[in-house]
């Protein structure tokens, strides 16, 4: 595809009309859905067509496709749908039971982007993410998180060119020179091992697991300030990054609702809230600044991070309910607490260009295929353990910025692209480009290019 065609197709050449409870998009799968049974038979063949793998209790299934997408967050979903609507066959692998990543009902993080919570009026991402938002506004006015899960599932399985494998983890790659020849993925729930051959592979895992298996060059942590002359960078490079968060939701009842915290909860005091607002305006949804783990390995230490975040969350709610500071909290009660840490930072794959803080503040690119606009939004790696520090440092770009195609493919694995928070960027640039509406536009661009 020529670059001019990619720019047209990948950055928002969709028009929408909302009629009643239907959304008409410029390039959806308009034809009635073909029966899904043949597709289910293909990914779970009958006994007569099975070939046993080296694991005697697993069934080996061979699949061939044009594009393989690892990761079913918003970036992976948009990459898969964009490629499928352009005519490519796609296999999409997601390690959870639902799509959407941090936007799903498992984490419940709001999708933010260039509009900056209405702080930049007139700007909003178009393309697939706008299609999803409009559809959700019409069909899910009650803003039910689980119906958002269903919306994304419906979008994916309604595309006849996509084979969706949920609860399936990427295990390994087979390489030939600088190219990925095939990948192996595993679904223990259905006892299948998938061997998938594709022409182009897209890493939308967030943690760059596909790139890691393929030997792709990556960065992690924070670059030294002198490398790119970034004001957000530390004087000395380190492996620290943004921490993860766990959110909660609560509900107002007509009677007092007591709360007794678990024994392992943090003992939170007023000193913890010097720079963190804990007032009633956020009781219903939770606090993004319940953050922890940026000073350790956000991948390998995930279980410890989960425990610490739950301990902090329970401690914060205990303070709200039982400190005496908030008598109006008497009738409030938790009705959901996340068990899956919403991760911000980990590995970033390296492309032909590394996006920097300067690019976000003034950079324009000939090969621009997506936009971003969220502020550079750095957090202290210590998170909640550093009550003496403000929970974030913000630099607001005057305008939205370009994301070039050269940041979306690996510079040393020739058929590997990346979509999401793991694109080629410094830590400073990542603090803005990581948010989900931006990741969705990146995913759509990658799917179009692939």
Please give the torsion angle defined by the CA atoms of residues 94, 426, 133 and 286, in that order, rounded to the nearest 10 degrees: 90
For 218-227, the CB contacts below 8 A with 24+ separation are 218/347, 218/348, 218/349, 218/350, 218/422, 219/347, 219/348, 219/350, 219/354, 219/426, 219/427, 220/346, 220/347, 220/348, 221/427, 222/427, 222/428, 223/426, 223/427, 223/428, 227/426
pLDDT at res. 20: 34
What pLDDT is stored for residue 6 in this prediction? 44
Q: What pLDDT, on a 0 to 100 scale, did the predictor assign at position 363? A: 76
Q: In this predicted structure, what is the pLDDT of residue 118?
A: 67
Q: What is the pLDDT of residue 116?
A: 81
d(C-alpha 298, C-alpha 344), whole Å: 9
> How many C-alpha atoms does 191 have within 13 Å on its Cβ side?
12
Among 11-25, 78-92, 275-289, the minimum mean pLDDT is found in 11-25
The model's pTM: 0.90
The reported pLDDT for the residue numbered 115 is 87
Q: What is the pLDDT of residues 132-179, one digit of tens each?
A: 999 999 999 999 999 999 999 999 999 999 999 999 999 999 999 999
Determine the straight-line distance between the first and last CA of the chain, rounded to whole angstroms.
9
Average pLDDT over residues 100-121: 89
Name the burial class of residue 162, with classes exposed (0-12), middle (13-18) and buried (19+) by CB atoms within 10 angstroms of its CB.
buried
User: What's the rounded Cα separation, in Å, for the pair 358 and 376?
Assistant: 11
Using the predicted structure, report yes or no on whether residue 424 has a pLDDT greater than 60.
yes
In whole angstroms, what is the distance from residue 163 CA to residue 68 CA?
A: 10
Predicted local distance difference test score (pLDDT) of residue 449: 96
Residue 120 has pLDDT above 80, yes or no: no
pLDDT digits (tens, 9 = 90+) for 234-270: 999 999 999 999 999 999 999 999 999 999 999 999 9
Band of residue 42 on the pLDDT scale cut at 50, 70, 90: confident
Q: What is the pLDDT of residue 4?
A: 35
Residue 35 is predicted with a pLDDT of 61
Helices (H), 181-224: 209-214
Q: Which domains, and CATH codes, for the chain? A: 3-220+345-449 (3.50.50.60), 244-337 (no CATH)
What pLDDT does residue 27 have?
A: 47
The pLDDT of residue 25 is 40
Write down the pLDDT at residue 47.
Answer: 62
Q: Residue 435 phi/psi, 5° resolution?
A: -70, 155
- Contact assessment for residue 205 and residue 197, using Cβ atoms and an 8 Å cutoff: no
> Does 38 score more than 80 pLDDT?
no
Whether the per-residue pLDDT at 441 is higher than 50: the answer is yes
Q: What is the pLDDT of residues 203-230, one digit of tens each?
A: 999 999 999 999 999 999 999 999 999 9
Interatomic CA distance for residues 59 and 192, integer angstroms: 5
Where are any strands of DSSP class E within 256-398?
291-292, 332-337, 347-349, 368-372, 376-378, 393-395
DSSP character at residue 386: -
Give yes or no for residue 23 having a pLDDT over 60.
no
Let me know the angle formed at the C-alpha of 313 by 310 and 319, rounded to the nearest 5 degrees: 140
Give CA separation, 160 vs 33, 83, 149, 380, in Å: 7, 12, 19, 45
Instruction: Judge whether residue 101 has pLDDT over 70.
Output: yes
Nearest CA-CA partner of 331 in 249, 250, 248, 254: 254
What is the arithmetic mean of pLDDT over 190-201?
Answer: 97
What's the pLDDT score for residue 54?
A: 74
Q: Can you tell me the distance from the alpha carbon of 426 to that of 434, in angstroms, rounded to the nearest whole number?
A: 11
> pLDDT above 70 covers what percent of the chain?
89
In tens, the pLDDT along 264-323 reads 999 999 999 999 999 898 899 999 999 999 999 999 999 999 999 999 999 999 999 999
C-alpha–C-alpha distance, residues 110 and 8, integer Å: 28
Q: What is the pLDDT of residues 349-393, one digit of tens each?
A: 999 999 999 999 987 999 999 999 999 999 999 999 999 999 999
Reported confidence tier of residue 51, pLDDT bands at 50, 70, 90: low
Q: Is the pLDDT of residue 2 over 70?
A: no
Look at residue 430 in the predicted model and tell me its pLDDT.
Answer: 98
Q: State the chain's mean pLDDT as an integer.
A: 91
- Which pLDDT value is given to residue 8? 40
């Amino acid at each position: 595809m020529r670059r001019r065609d990619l720019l047209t197709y990948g950055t928002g050449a969709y028009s929408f009309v909302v009629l009643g409870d239907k959304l008409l998009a410029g390039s959806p799968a308009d034809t009635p859905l073909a029966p899904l049974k043949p597709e289910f038979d293909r990914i779970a063949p009958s006994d007569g067509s099975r070939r046993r793998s080296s694991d005697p209790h697993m069934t080996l299934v061979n699949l061939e496709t044009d594009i393989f997408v690892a990761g079913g967050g918003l970036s992976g979903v948009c990459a898969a749908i964009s490629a499928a609507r352009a005519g490519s066959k796609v296999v999409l692998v997601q390690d959870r039971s639902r799509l959407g990543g941090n936007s799903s009902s498992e984490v419940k993080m709001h999708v933010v982007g260039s509009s900056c919570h209405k702080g930049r009026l007139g700007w909003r991402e178009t393309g697939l993410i706008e299609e999803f938002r409009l559809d959700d506004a019409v069909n899910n006015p009650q803003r039910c998180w689980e119906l958002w899960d269903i919306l994304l599932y419906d979008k994916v399985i309604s595309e006849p060119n996509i084979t969706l494998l949920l609860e399936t983890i990427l295990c390994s790659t087979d390489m030939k020179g600088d190219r990925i020849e095939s990948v192996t993925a595993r679904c223990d729930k259905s006892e299948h091992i998938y061997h998938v051959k594709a022409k182009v592979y897209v890493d939308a895992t967030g943690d760059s697991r596909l790139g890691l298996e393929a030997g792709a060059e990556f960065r992690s942590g924070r670059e030294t300030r002198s490398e790119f002359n970034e004001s957000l960078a530390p004087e000395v490079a380190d492996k620290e990054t943004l921490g993860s968060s766990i959110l909660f939701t609560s509900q107002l009842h007509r009677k007092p609702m007591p709360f007794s915290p678990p024994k392992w909860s943090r003992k939170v005091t007023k000193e913890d809230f010097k720079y963190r607002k804990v007032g009633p305006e956020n009781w219903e949804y939770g606090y993004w600044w319940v953050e922890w783990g940026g000073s350790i390995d956000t991948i390998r230490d995930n279980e410890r991070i989960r425990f610490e975040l739950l301990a902090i969350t329970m401690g914060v709610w205990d303070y709200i309910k039982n400190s005496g500071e908030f008598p109006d909290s008497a009738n409030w009660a938790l009705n959901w607490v996340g068990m899956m840490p919403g991760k911000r930072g980990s590995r970033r794959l390296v492309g032909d260009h590394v996006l920097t803080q300067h690019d976000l503040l003034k950079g324009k690119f000939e090969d621009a295929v997506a936009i971003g606009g969220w502020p550079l939004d750095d957090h202290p790696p210590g998170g909640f353990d550093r009550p003496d520090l403000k929970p974030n440092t913000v630099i607001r770009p005057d305008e939205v910025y370009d994301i070039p195609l050269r940041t979306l493919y690996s510079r040393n694995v020739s058929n590997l692209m990346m979509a999401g928070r793991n694109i080629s960027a410094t830590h400073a640039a990542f603090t803005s480009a990581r948010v989900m509406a931006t990741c969705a536009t990146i995913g759509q661009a990658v799917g179009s290019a692939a």
